[in-house]
Amino acid sequence: MDYAAIIHAFVDDFVENKDAILIRELKNDNPYDLTLLVVAEGEDTSRLIGRKGIIANALREVLSIAGKIDNRRVHLKFETFEKTTTEE
């Protein structure tokens, strides 16, 4: 199942910079566990998590339901791109 496509279907409407969304699968020892990492810019990460985590929890619930089709437990984590500055 294409979990990244499921995530994009929901999160693209919440963020300002859709092209800056990065979704990666993290390695797990258990083949039935799947951890997905969603990385976005600072403001967009805040929007994806939502107040009191309500948006993040809703996304986790949708992915949990999708994972049941594949007999997998799907975990979702959020991170922010670090801004780098160059000094001259």
The model's pLDDT over 7-30, given as tens digits with 9 standing for 90+, comes to 999 988 889 988 889 999 998 899
Burial of 41 (0-12, 13-18, 19+ CB in 10 A): middle
pLDDT band (50, 70, 90) for residue 86: low
Q: What is the pTM of this model?
A: 0.83
Q: How many CB atoms lie within 10 A of CB 36?
A: 20
Closest CA relative to residue 35, chosen from 82, 72, 81: 72
Please answer whether residues 57 and 10 qualify as being in contact, where contact means their C-beta atoms are separated by less than 8 angstroms: no
Please tell me the predicted confidence (pLDDT) of residue 23. 94
CATH number 3.40.91 given to 7-21+34-80: no
